[in-house]
Amino acid sequence: MNGSSLLDMSGKDRKAKSKYEKWVRAFSIGEDDEVAECMNEIESDLITAQKVGYGSNLELISALESVLVCLLGHRMEDVRENAVVLLNVLYDGHDLQLRESLSVQIASADETKIELFIPVRDRIDETQSPLSESQVAKLCVKVFGPSKDLNSPPRWTNYPVDFKANAPVGVLCFIGEFPRSGFYDWTLSGVDSTGNSILETYFDHRRYRGRIIVQPSGIREDFFMEAPVEQVGAAWNDSTGQLEERGTFDSVLGLLPELKLRGITGLYLMGALEHSIGQEDNSPMSVADRARPDSLLGGPSGFSHLVTEMRRLGIKPII
């Protein structure tokens, strides 16, 4: 890991800059125990920042992100793996996936509510509920998801739980409505009158948290297709298999009338973003610039022409 490859921290506040420089040195030339210590510090600082809110220390969040991105290429495998996890935690805005990934279910923004049934542990007798009404009253499902206002940060919302009649023992929660599409991560929360967690006694930790991926309204009626732009209308040498003629945005443009007749409502333009950077054999997955269409495929003008025609035909462009 080369410190010179990291983002410039000259504009950061002094404390964040000091930590950043310490981490750069440790991950570049430090011993294994120093590397482990710094990784623990990064995790601790990240969790603390989430509790107080990212907005209160943007400089530290920027430093954490910069270092973690660079650690994706670290020489040590466990450092790389930890960096992946901590980056996910940073972007999630909470630590629900710090130790395990969340179970996932799919919904759409036009659904009025989602029913969550959270069973008690399998080893508990299911003939009667081990939870009293007073215990259930202390439980709630906390949901972290997008705010209705596009300019507002994600927020936590609490939902009450109840028993579900005529079902295996557990608690029931209805979540909704969803203000817009996005990730809605939830966790069951609650303590008894003594301050002890109700969850650890009665619930399997793998079951009392999860993620609802809320897709845009009407998406269940959509029909999507993928178009690898470089391969649309491309030609290969029969003997060597070498690409002789590359597909372009104009090649995809020629397919649109047929796609419209087939009922396609959304088209994923795979490899549309800049990846060539002067090298014709670069992988379409090796994106170099997410703000610019690939130059060898037709650049901004070819992309703009394609997207304009797609929208005219009612086909959603997906990048």
Sorted by where each begins, the domain ranges of the chain are: 3-92, 103-218, 222-318
- Residue 171 to residue 188: CA distance in whole angstroms: 10
Least confident segment among 63-67, 131-135, 308-312:
131-135
Determine the length of the chain.
Answer: 319
6: pLDDT strictly greater than 60 = no
Is residue 121 packed enough to be buried (19+ CB in 10 Å), middle (13-18) or exposed (0-12)? middle
Other beta carbons within 10 angstroms of residue 289's beta carbon come to 12
Mean pLDDT across 26-41: 94
Gap between the Cα atoms of 71 and 83, Å rounded:
6
Q: Using the predicted structure, report yes or no on whether residue 185 has a pLDDT greater than 80.
A: yes
- Is residue 272 pLDDT above 80, yes or no? yes
Find tokens 């939870």 and name the residue.
131
171, pLDDT greater than 90: no
Q: Residue 311, Cα to own-chain centre: how many angstroms?
A: 27
pLDDT exceeds cutoff 90 at 61 = yes
Supply the pLDDT for residue 243: 79
State the chain's mean pLDDT as an integer. 86
- Per-residue pLDDT of 220-266, as tens digits, reads 889 999 999 999 998 988 888 887 888 999 999 999 999 999 999 99
> What is the CATH T-level fold of the domain 103-218, as seen in this structure?
Immunoglobulin-like (2.60.40)
Is the pLDDT score of 25 beyond 90?
yes
| pLDDT bracket for residue 279 (50, 70, 90) | low
- pLDDT tens-place string over residues 81-129: 999 999 999 999 999 999 999 999 999 888 878 889 888 766 556 555 5
CATH class of the domain at 222-318: alpha beta
Please name which of 73, 115, 135, 64 lies closest in space to residue 93, comparing C-alpha atoms: 64
Q: Contact 212/175 with Cβ under 8 angstroms?
A: yes
Residue 15's SS3 state is helix
Type of residue found at 268: Y
* Mean pLDDT on 27-56: 93
